[in-house]
Amino acid sequence: MDQLTPAEQSLMRRLTGVLRFADFMALLMVAATAFSAYAAWRTAQVTSHIFALEERPFVGVERVTFEQGDTASPRAVVEYRNFGKIPANGAIITVVALAKGKRVANTPNEMSSASAGVLSPGVPHFFYTYFPPDTYKSIVTGKASLMLQVHVEYKGPGAEPFCYSERMVFDYRAASFRPAGGTDRCSGSDIY
Domain assignment of residue 133, yes or no: yes
Which of 11, 38, 54 delimits the end of a domain?
A: 54
Does one domain contain both 47 and 95? Answer: no
Does one domain contain both 63 and 117? Answer: yes
**Which of 157, 116, 107 is CA-nearest to residue 135?**
107
**Highest mean pLDDT out of 14-28, 40-54, 63-77, 78-92:** 78-92
Range of the domain at 49: 1-54
Number of folded domains that form the chain: 2
Q: Strand runs (DSSP E) across 16-110, as ranges?
A: 59-67, 75-82, 88-99, 102-103
SS3 26: helix
Does one domain contain both 27 and 67? Answer: no
Does one domain contain both 47 and 70? Answer: no
Q: Please compute the mean of the pLDDT values over residues 39-59 and round it to a whole number.
A: 82
**Claim: this prediction has a pTM higher than 0.85:** no
Q: By percentage, how much of the chain surpasses pLDDT 90?
A: 29
Q: What is the pLDDT of residues 145-170, one digit of tens each?
A: 999 999 999 998 878 889 999 999 99
Domain assignment of residue 191, yes or no: no
